[in-house]
Amino acid sequence: MKLLSFLSTATLFLTANSQIISCPVLTCDSAESMDMDQCYQHDDSHPVATIRTFPCEGYLESTLKSTPLCELNLPKGQHAWYDESTQSIDKSSFSWESAISNKKVRAECRLAASIMNNLSNGRSCSQHSNCLSKNCLAGLCKGLAVGELCARHSDCDAGSYCKKDQTWPYVSKCNKANTNYEQCNEDFECGNSAYCWYVSKQDRIDTVKKCLPLYSQEVGTSMGWYSASFGNITYEDYEINGRYCKSGLAFPVNETANLKNNTNGTKELILGNCTATDKVVYQPNGKLSWPYACNASNQSARCELWYNSSSPNDAITLPQKSFSVRCNCALDGNNGYCSKLLGTEKYKDAMSKRKTVLESSECHTLDRNNFRAQRDSCGIGPGDSLDEAITAMFEVNYHAWVQNGDVYDCIKKVFDDSLLNQSKMGAHILRISIAMVMAIVGILYI
Ligand SMILES: *[C@@H]1O[C@H](CO)[C@@H](O)[C@H](O)[C@H]1NC(C)=O
Ligand SMILES: *[C@@H]1O[C@H](CO)[C@@H](O)[C@H](O)[C@H]1NC(C)=O
Ligand SMILES: *[C@@H]1O[C@H](CO)[C@@H](O)[C@H](O)[C@H]1NC(C)=O
Ligand SMILES: *[C@@H]1O[C@H](CO)[C@@H](O)[C@H](O)[C@H]1NC(C)=O
Ligand SMILES: *[C@@H]1O[C@H](CO)[C@@H](O)[C@H](O)[C@H]1NC(C)=O
Ligand SMILES: *[C@@H]1O[C@H](CO)[C@@H](O)[C@H](O)[C@H]1NC(C)=O
Ligand SMILES: *[C@@H]1O[C@H](CO)[C@@H](O)[C@H](O)[C@H]1NC(C)=O
Ligand SMILES: *[C@@H]1O[C@H](CO)[C@@H](O)[C@H](O)[C@H]1NC(C)=O
Ligand SMILES: *[C@@H]1O[C@H](CO)[C@@H](O)[C@H](O)[C@H]1NC(C)=O
């Protein structure tokens, strides 16, 4: 008995202690200290102590005129990084708790031209092999036209999607993309600046979705609410339901009349309202001001994002509710910042810039989140609107890592989604340099 109680006390002690972590450090090494073609190196350990980065500036530059970039792409999930939620663990029987399980720990520099393959329909190309469709026609990747039979969404031309008939013989044909508030089943059926969701409580009850314009609604607007993990609202629920709102944040209206009574006795939330983040609170320090500094070494203390949980009304003080997010390491050794900015002015501004880019896009909807496509002829093209959207998205996505100038400089050079790397367009650069070589050769022959 004594042993048993001792064990459970020990377990409790470990659990209580497991939220204390030590943050890794990101270094920005000089090119000389490293192989010329390597741009990132993880320390192969868990907990993670050091992640090193190296610039690709010297790579192949002397031999070939094309821009090098680092193949590190965190959102793709192939490379090891670190995670505040598992950083305290030093032994576990779950492989997924290890930062290095099933991950690459090194990344190479590549010529920007080498990533210009597998392009969706609508992208500019110089040869068939650039395109996913393997059909480069008049400088653009060409897919199936509206009305032709298709197997996959990616088969159809930009501006259309593969629609499956609901009646015999169930053909699937490329169909023009839906306009806003037309009925849909999936996001890719909607235009680039829309997504497929429940526009109202009634549509949520009837399970009817429509193409809704992204980030378009003011605080107070309603939509149908859906939580995949019903009963327990996650951060993703606030974010996904909030895509209709300018602020990016919606909350579930938890009132009897807005609960769907399931036949099995459970209740589901079905109405959401747009709101915005009113303040960020960190219990040890109270209300935080921008950029929301916190102590990342104690992961049991979380940042609370508070929002008004009622319709806008200046006459009265509105009730507020909150959800909490982690404190992220700043990767500079000591500092930490709240990990998410959902619903804040900074987030709203980034979504508005992204929306501007998407609204002028005629690219394939599979390229919705691909800023390289938006720089191409099907998109808004190069310019301030695109550059501002890329930078704003980068600074929202990596909030804690852009606060220290040196860390920002490191990740800017190696992360594929930075403005620096997104500006590198292999195909065009290659074509221009080939044109230049031809011109020089031409001059020599004259
Ligand atoms: C191109 O896409 C196809 C199908 O999506 C995939 O099998 C292939 O590996 C991709 N190739 C490259 C080089 O990414
Ligand atoms: C709800 O989610 C939180 C955080 O993930 C978790 O700690 C809690 O146990 C969950 N509650 C239920 C009822 O699933
Ligand atoms: C909704 O409100 C009820 C009663 O106040 C509460 O028990 C329940 O946890 C709330 N649900 C959510 C998801 O907040
Ligand atoms: C669900 O049932 C409650 C009574 O348990 C009722 O008051 C409420 O109006 C019902 N909600 C809906 C959306 O029908
Ligand atoms: C109750 O019904 C809902 C939807 O009809 C379903 O998602 C949920 O899993 C069911 N819950 C239980 C406990 O069976
Ligand atoms: C941060 O939290 C850790 C662990 O709780 C603590 O040891 C440290 O003193 C804190 N740092 C600051 C600056 O409060
Ligand atoms: C970590 O933060 C929690 C919540 O604020 C606090 O209760 C706890 O004492 C802190 N732990 C340490 C070691 O500072
Ligand atoms: C939700 O929005 C609707 C319509 O805008 C409004 O009538 C209702 O009062 C709002 N509810 C809350 C709790 O904000
Ligand atoms: C929340 O409501 C208060 C009034 O109670 C208002 O002053 C404040 O601007 C609102 N915050 C947001 C983010 O809308």
Indicate which residue's Cα is closest to atom 1 of ligand 9.
308
Burial (CB count <10 Å: 0-12, 13-18, 19+), residue 321: middle
Closest residue by Cα to atom 9, ligand 3, is 231
- Residues with beta carbon inside 6 Å of ligand 1? 117-118, 132
Across residues 252-280, what is the average pLDDT? 92
pLDDT tens-digit map of 418-427: 999 998 865 4
Check residue 66 and give its pLDDT: 66
* Dihedral angle of Cα 135, 136, 140, 142, to the nearest 10 degrees: -20
Query: What tens digit of pLDDT does each residue of 73-92 get?
Result: 999 999 999 999 999 999 99
Asked if residue 198 lies in contact with residue 181, where contact means CB atoms within 8 angstroms, the answer is: no
Q: Can you tell me the distance from the alpha carbon of 92 to that of 100, in angstroms, rounded to the nearest whole number? A: 13
- The model's pTM is 0.88
Per residue, the 3-state secondary structure of the chain, as one string, reads CHHHHHHHHHHHHHHHHCCECCCCEEEECCHHHCCCCEEEEECCCCCCCEEEECCCCCCCCCCCCCCEEECCCHHHCCECCCCCCCCCCCCCCCHHHCCCCCCECEEEEEEHHHHCCCECCCCECCCHHHECCCCEECCEECCECCCCECCCHHHECCCEEEEECCCCCCCEEEEECECCCCEECCHHHECCCEEEECCCHHHHHCCCEEEEECCCECCCCEEECCCCCCCCCCHHHHHHHHHHECCCEEEECCCHHHEEECCCCCEEECEEEEECEEEEEECCCEEECCCCEECCCECCCCEEEEEECCCCCCCCCCCEEEEEECEEECCECCCEEECCCCCCHHHHHHHHHHHHHHHCCCCCHHHCCCHHHHHCCCCCCCCHHHHHHHHHHHHHHCHHHCCCHHHHHHHHHHCCCCHHHHCCCHHHHHHHHHHHHHHHHHHHHC
pLDDT tens figures, 287-328: 999 999 999 999 999 999 999 999 888 778 889 999 999 999
Distance CA(274)–CA(222), nearest Å, equals 6
Contacts of 433 (CB under 8 A, 6+ apart): 65, 66
Predicted local distance difference test score (pLDDT) of residue 115: 79
Would you say residue 438 has pLDDT above 50? no
Best residue among 118, 128, 141, 416 to mutate for probing ligand 1's pocket (most ligand atoms within 8 Å of CB) is 118
What pLDDT shows up at residue 443? 44
Average pLDDT for 248-276: 92
Least confident window among 16-30, 75-89, 165-179, 284-298: 16-30
Among all bound ligands, the one having the nearest atom to the CA of 154 is 1
Counting ligand 7 atoms within 8 A of each CB, the residue from 300, 304, 324, 326 with the most, and so the one to mutate, is 300
Report which protein residue has its CA nearest ligand 5's atom 14: 264
- Residue with the smallest CA separation from ligand 1 atom 6 is 118
Return the ∠ at Cα 37 (arms to 329 and 440), rounded to 5°.
Answer: 125
Q: Which of 298, 302, 327 to mutate to test the pocket of ligand 7 (most atoms within 8 A of CB)?
A: 298
Residue range 198-242, pLDDT digits in tens: 999 999 999 999 999 999 999 999 999 999 876 789 999 999 999
Closest CA to 270 of 175, 365, 200, 336: 200
Between the alpha carbon of residue 148 and those of residues 35, 69, 142, 270, the distances in Å are 50, 38, 13, 38
Regarding beta strands 38-42 and 50-53, do their DSSP bridges make them parallel or antiparallel, or are they unpaired? antiparallel
Check if the beta carbon of residue 249 is closer than 8 Å to that of residue 275: yes
Q: Report the pLDDT value the prediction gives residue 225, as an integer from 0 to 100.
A: 96
172 band by pLDDT with thresholds 50, 70 and 90: very high
Average the pLDDT over 275-295 and give the result: 96
The bound ligand whose nearest atom lies closest to the alpha carbon of 221 is 8
Distance from the CA of 430 to the center of ligand 4, in angstroms? 64
State the pLDDT at residue 196: 98
pLDDT digits (tens, 9 = 90+) for 96-155: 999 999 999 999 888 887 778 899 999 999 999 999 999 999 999 999 999 999 999 999
Whether the pLDDT of residue 1 is over 70: the answer is no
Q: What's the Cα-to-Cα distance from 199 to each of 14, 249, 257, 310, rounded to whole Å?
A: 46, 15, 17, 19
Q: Which ligand is nearest to the CA of 266?
A: 5
The whole-number pLDDT of residue 436 equals 43
How confident is the prediction for the chain on average, in pLDDT?
88
Name the residue with the closest Cα to ligand 8, atom 13.
310
Question: What pLDDT sits at residue 17?
Answer: 45
To the nearest whole percent, how much of the chain has pLDDT over 90?
74
Across 22-36, 49-63, 321-335, the highest mean pLDDT is recorded for 321-335
299: number of CA atoms within 13 Å, CB side? 20
d(C-alpha 437, C-alpha 108), whole Å: 27
Measured CA to CA, the distance from residue 86 to residue 95 in angstroms comes to 11
pLDDT at 184: 96
Task: Say if ligand 6 is within 6 A of residue 298 CB.
Answer: yes
